[in-house]
Structure 1
Amino acid sequence: MELTPKQQALELINKAKRILLVTHEKPDGDALGSITSLYLVLSKLGKSATAVVLDEIAPNYRFIPKTEDFSKELSALRDFIISVDCTTAAADKLAYNFQDGKLNIVITPKTGNFRPQDVSFAEGSFQFDLIIVLDSADWDQVGRIYADNTKLFQAVPVINIDHHSSNDYFGTVNLVDLTAASTTEILVGVVEALGNSLVDEDVATSLLTGIISDTGSFQHSNTTPKALTVAAQMVGFGARQQEIIKNLFKTKAYTTLKLWGKVLSQLQYDPAHRLSWTVVPSNFFIETSSSPDETSGLIDELMTSVPGADVVVLVSEKESRVLSGSIRTKKGVDAAEIAGLFGGGGHPGAAGFKLVDVGIDQVESIIINKIKEYQAKNGVGAESDEPKLAPATLETASQTDVIPPEAPMTYPPETDSTTKEEVAVEEEKLAKEQ
């Protein structure tokens, strides 16, 4: 009988001795929770595990255990072998020195003489015998680590563990579960199979971080019975749930708060078309000493906080006359279809687009008016309506800190849904393509 992807993955992990762990660029809570939990578990199993994260880890994720152990580069992948044919000459002494940035290897013959044609070169085997790629839909998302080391990824078996519907199934083994709320949810089953005793407080905290991050503290629609059950199981193992909530949802940098305040002051709401939008001019980043990355999460807050809005749009001017748009919609309104009006795409509930040579002052005339037309064609408002724009009234979205009690580990089948992290990666991919 053919092995399942999970069984194949476990077989490769058990056989491997030197394992490389990587995830997508600009890792979020699920990516870091995945790579950390597996790093800790593999180390307990006596494996030589190397976790590589090239990007700086955001301050709100630094509570995750052992992130300080991650490597910021991938080097010394294989030996370089220099061979000398000794059939016509015998070696007596071997020495080396450094001169002018060069390594000089000096061989003194005992008999005969060495010739240039006696020397040959070769590369040794790669130091890793297994690569595990976590929370990444394709090689583009893995980014520079893959682009700069393609030979390594082609020569060594790859286990691809992910939950995104856009996954390219690029691995030697593809452990992809589209019903999972996060990649760490998938890893819980892998870790259990490797040994229940491997889950301590740090491992449980890392795994729970991914679930809480990708479900928005169990507020997003991808929160399933299985996600809640697995979360309860991790709390039972000692996961520090309140520490996760504090760092992910209750702690924001001063610059982020200032930026969000300015962006919210621009918020508008068109009740006739059930549409809310706001803009982030490039000068906002300068005035608040913030970065474009600090808008992350804002549109999701708006989607849950603006009453009556079926469509929420956030348009950022990250560079002169280049606009990046994010769209969130409620059930029944296709965000990907709206993004397609501007050459973008994504998922039914969340999508993005990028426009070049368009100014931030043209957002309403080029973007918002077209979305109003889209809504009108779908029976929301009328193209002839000229509704009075009202400032949006925000409702404070409460953070759900309650984890349900443990339940038997039997999981019903779930429906596929889109996560915040998946959309962020898709939006970044679209921006690269355009």
Structure 2
Amino acid sequence: MEQTPKQQIAELIKNSHKIFLVTHQGPDGDALGSLLASYLVLKKLGKDVHAVTDNDLSPVFSFLPSFSELQKNFKISRDFVISISTALAKVEKLGYKAREDETALDIFITPKNGSFRAEDVSFTAGGSPYDLIIVLDSPEIERLGAVFEDNAPLFYETPIVNIDHHPANDHFGKINWVDLTATSTAEILVALFESLGGSVNQNLIDEDIATCLLTGIITDTGSFQNQNTTPKSLTVAAQMVAAGARQQEIILHIFKMKPLSTLRLWGKILERVRYENAGNFIWSVAYQKDLADTGATAAEINGVLDEVMKATSQADFALLLTERGTQVHGSLRAIAKTFDMGKLASNFGGGGHPSAAAFDVPISASFQETTAEVVAKITALARPTNMR
């Protein structure tokens, strides 16, 4: 009988020693919770594991176990292999010397007899240092950002496991576990960790791991207030609390405590909120300059949509447009249950869920002109016949 994705992934993990964990750029609570939970579980299993993220992380999540062990700005160090044919001459001695100006390294090979020729030498790049890559909560491999862009050969040479819950996932892995019924990637991982624990007769989900997983579930369900909340998500959350998840700590850090830089940043964004009557939605913008002015990081932008902008009852959905280098990043959150944010984002090449979605569009002439074009297009799309 054919194995399920869960069984295939468990088998791959069992047979792998060095594992690379990664999630999408600008990671949210589900991405980070899933990444850190997987990191802690794999370490328990004796694996050599590296957990990597693309960019600056929101300080909101610094309470999570092993948060400080995440690697950022990752660029893999690959071996450079110099091969010498010994068919005609054997090696007597091998040495090297760095030049005084530090511009080169000279390698000396002394044959036992005869001599080496230039054609006896060949050069190759070393293979992948990892046995397995696990990508978490990312619908596309390109969403990994610089981690993928700067290390593309690594992803082509190493088996990839893709674990996600987004409908727009393009199944880029060797093994794809994409569960559209799950509210979060963290929810999916609970079943995987139980399977891995069963194979070694060990309960792998301790208090720290349960806290990471519950963080993912809570953030992706909006603390169980979003329309994607299911009976299963509530059951799994209760299971995590029973396992020792620090639920009050999660609520305190994510919903009740904010750095001063975050409050200043949100103040600027909220001051620009506009109501688009024709499409019945609210929208605002976040400029790159806002980060410098407030001392905030890009990751601190995320919560303003979920915690403030979508709290209004006077609109059907909320839109936040963020300046990101040469692109405009759009984030959508549903307020009325009849609006499908994933469908709306797909018009810009993005995707997501009915309640939350995102997209990126290149900046044309200027950020202001591009945002005006996006708002105009969304206004035209936000009609009862198109969106409901």
TM range (shorter): 0.7 to 0.9
Give identity over the alignment, percent: 46
Relative to structure 2, which stretch is displaced further, 325-334 or 184-193?
A: 325-334
Match of 1:171 in 2: 173
Cα separation, partners in 2 of 1:323 and 1:206, compared to 1, 3 Å: closer
Cα separation, partners in 2 of 1:362 and 1:166, compared to 1, 3 Å: closer
Conserved 8 A contact 1:328-1:351: yes
Distance 1:332 1:120 in 2: 63
Partner of 2:203: helix, strand, or coil? helix
Distance 1:41 1:4 in 2: 21
Distance 1:344 1:269 in 2: 24
Conserved 8 A contact 1:303-1:309: no
Partner of 1:141: helix, strand, or coil? helix
- 1:367 deviates by 3.8
Which letter maps to 1:182?
Answer: S
Distance 2:283 2:211 in 1: 36
Paired positions, count: 377
Distance 2:182 2:333 in 1: 21
Q: Structure 2: state its 5+ residue gaps.
A: none
Conserved 8 A contact 2:183-2:220: yes
Which letter maps to 1:233?
Answer: Q
Relative to structure 2, which stretch is displaced further, 354-363 or 146-155?
A: 354-363
Cα separation, partners in 2 of 1:349 and 1:303, compared to 1, 3 Å: farther
Per-residue CA deviations over 1:316-346 (Å, capped at 9, x if unaligned) read: 56689x86554433122354666688x5764
1:206 aligned to 2:217? Answer: no
Match of 1:3 in 2: 3
Cα separation, partners in 2 of 1:260 and 1:145, compared to 1, 3 Å: closer
Which letter maps to 2:187?
Answer: E
- 1:103 deviates by 2.7
Which letter maps to 1:245?
Answer: I
Conserved 8 A contact 1:315-1:324: yes
Conserved 8 A contact 2:328-2:370: no
Per-residue CA deviations over 1:192-236 (Å, capped at 9, x if unaligned) read: 011152111111111111111211211211111111111111111
1:24 aligned to 2:24? Answer: yes
Partner of 1:46: helix, strand, or coil? coil
Conserved 8 A contact 1:317-1:360: no
Match of 1:182 in 2: 184
Per-residue CA deviations over 1:329-364 (Å, capped at 9, x if unaligned) read: 3122354666688x5764544455657446759988
Match of 1:296 in 2: 302
- 1:98 deviates by 1.7
Cα separation, partners in 2 of 1:22 and 1:311, compared to 1, 3 Å: closer
Match of 2:142 in 1: 140
Conserved 8 A contact 2:279-2:382: no
Conserved 8 A contact 1:85-1:118: yes
Distance 1:316 1:345 in 2: 15
- 1:83 deviates by 2.6
Of 220, 228, 232, 1:226 maps to 232
Distance 2:214 2:340 in 1: 30
Distance 1:379 1:19 in 2: 42
Cα separation, partners in 2 of 1:228 and 1:81, compared to 1, 3 Å: same
Distance 1:108 1:359 in 2: 62
Which letter maps to 1:184?
Answer: A
Relative to structure 2, which stretch is displaced further, 251-260 or 233-242?
A: 251-260
Partner of 1:181: helix, strand, or coil? coil
Match of 2:77 in 1: 76
Distance 2:260 2:267 in 1: 11
- 1:128 deviates by 1.3
1:248 aligned to 2:254? Answer: yes
Distance 1:378 1:16 in 2: 48
Relative to structure 2, which stretch is displaced further, 116-125 or 22-31?
A: 116-125
Query: C-alpha root-mean-square deviation of aligned residues, in Å?
Result: 3.4
Distance 2:125 2:367 in 1: 52
Conserved 8 A contact 1:6-1:190: yes
Per-residue CA deviations over 1:139-195 (Å, capped at 9, x if unaligned) read: 111222223333322222111111111111111110111111111111100000111
Distance 1:376 1:87 in 2: 77
Match of 2:264 in 1: 258
Distance 2:276 2:34 in 1: 41
Partner of 1:111: helix, strand, or coil? coil
Partner of 1:41: helix, strand, or coil? helix
Distance 1:159 1:351 in 2: 23
Match of 1:216 in 2: 222
Which letter maps to 2:150?
Answer: D
Match of 1:47 in 2: 47
Cα separation, partners in 2 of 1:370 and 1:60, compared to 1, 3 Å: closer
- 1:301 deviates by 3.0
1:155 aligned to 2:160? Answer: no
Conserved 8 A contact 1:92-1:110: yes
Distance 1:259 1:305 in 2: 18
Partner of 2:122: helix, strand, or coil? strand
